[in-house]
Chain A
């Protein structure tokens, strides 16, 4: 078990830190907010699912500083979306593969088409 980190290590970066560190984090966040607005799940269901991912990560010795927070957020969203039947795990992995192939097939500088 990792010793809790001192906040002096965490604090300096948080004044003026970006809301999202990478674009995919913003996308994952917004996907959750909009799916909730469309009644795919309740906010309580979402918070429960995210809490479970965070607790499991903690039990697995995940980083103390929350640096993988949006990775856990994404895992929670994938789990909730599949549990709700809005997509299957196979569908998601197939789409991920299709996106990868589209990137590799698109000349640099051109828009990558939707699968």
Chain B
């Protein structure tokens, strides 16, 4: 044991050391550039997140032609706004209407539309959400504070590595005079996963 706390550095956790070992091995083999690692972390911590998706939704609410393009090919429509995926996945937008409420899950892991929503919240990755969203979606929605009337259909979309979903929430009533930017403020992350609704 070191007798002086200044003559050594405490190693980080076992998990952190395993990551360091992987990074060293992959860097040596040329699969990883440490600067690229930092750039990826920076992108996900500061540049992508649910504000991207909110901008997409607000534009769809105010621009019918864009909304149609979004529903026809969400990957292309989001790319128009500069939001594109890096994993070769397709994005599909599903629209909430008076008759249908959509919610999104990934039952197997945690596939999620990163370019428009950033990385998923912790509950999205939980075993509880992944299993219950499919079995009892209405009960799960109630726990999120979302009451769906019995006569409204609830559709649950199971994401995959190739296909991710973005819910297009319903535009709240009484927002006719709001600008696109002001509308975007009403679009919560959860409303685009379908576990919330956009509220004025």
Chain A residues with a Cβ under 8 A of chain B: 4-8, 10-11, 13-14, 17, 19-20, 22-24, 26-31, 33-38, 40, 43-44, 46-48, 50-51, 54-55, 58, 62-67, 69-71, 74, 77-78, 81, 86-87, 91-96, 99-100, 103-110, 112, 114-115
**Given A10-B128, A65-B126, also A99-B8 (CB < 8 A):** no
A-B CB contacts (within 8 Å), total count:
201
What residue in chain A is nearest B24 (Cβ atoms)?
A: A95
Q: Please, how many angstroms separate the alpha-carbon atoms of A91 and B22 in the complex?
A: 9
Q: Give chain B residues whose Cβ lies under 8 Å from the Cβ of A5.
A: 126, 128
Q: Is the interface of A mostly helix, strand, loop or mixed?
A: helix
The stretch of B53-61, B63-71, B107-115 in contact with A is: B107-115
Interface string of B22-65 (1 = CB under 8 A from A): 11111001111100111011001100000000000000000000
**Given A34-B40, A47-B160, A51-B108, also A10-B24 (CB < 8 A):** no
Q: Give chain A residues whose Cβ lies under 8 Å from the Cβ of B13.
A: 22, 24
What residue in chain A is nearest B141 (Cβ atoms)?
A: A7
Q: How many residues of B contact A (CB 8 A)?
A: 61
**Given A96-B20, A103-B10, A107-B7, also A44-B127 (CB < 8 A):** no
8 sampled A-B residue pairs with Cβ under 8 A: A7-B128, A24-B19, A38-B32, A47-B109, A50-B110, A64-B127, A74-B19, A92-B25
